[in-house]
Amino acid sequence: MLDWNVVATVREGRYQEGFRLLRRFGQAARTDYFNLVVLQAEDGRQLLDDLLEEGGRGPECLKALSSVVPVFLRFTFQTPEEFEEKARQAVSEWLPQLWGKSFHLRMHRRGFKGKLSSLAEEQFLDHYLLQALQAGGEPGRISFDDPDVIIALETIGPRAGLSLWKREELGRYPLLHLD
């Protein structure tokens, strides 16, 4: 599988159109998951800006795409325990950006069915971050209503990617569709 840094979902019945569009912005690859495309893009934020520009050309330009989520930290895992350890290490890098902020983590899992639960892992990592922020003297809080930050966690089989998005970016990039 491609060493991806973008996960895109394509609307039902528009897979070929969405795949062709994404291929213009980087190396795209099909996955074993329904309506899911991965992409290796040079710069994830620039990709979102380029897609915004593309969408400005007409209302139909981006209709094939449901969501496009660049990731900035990636890791592989073989077990749920390894997943949790590596995910905890990855999100730790963003603790300074979460100081005193409202946030939540949103996970989209493909694969590891029955072994990983998106909801359980979201709660596990949210709880870990809250504890780490409290221990560092800069408490944060979980919020699903207009949070300051959302952390996206995408898994495809044994590969995971994470990205952090601030409120301004969430408003600017409608294709993120994190919640």
Q: What is the pLDDT along the chain (179 residues), one digit of tens a residue?
A: 679 999 999 999 999 999 999 999 999 999 999 999 999 999 999 999 999 999 888 768 899 999 999 999 999 999 999 999 999 999 999 999 999 999 999 999 999 998 999 999 999 999 999 999 999 999 999 999 999 999 999 999 999 999 999 999 999 999 999 98
The confidence score (pLDDT) of residue 174 equals 92
29-33 contacts, C-beta under 8 A, 24 or more apart: 29/1, 29/2, 29/4, 31/1, 31/110, 31/156, 32/157, 33/110, 33/111, 33/156
pTM of the model: 0.94
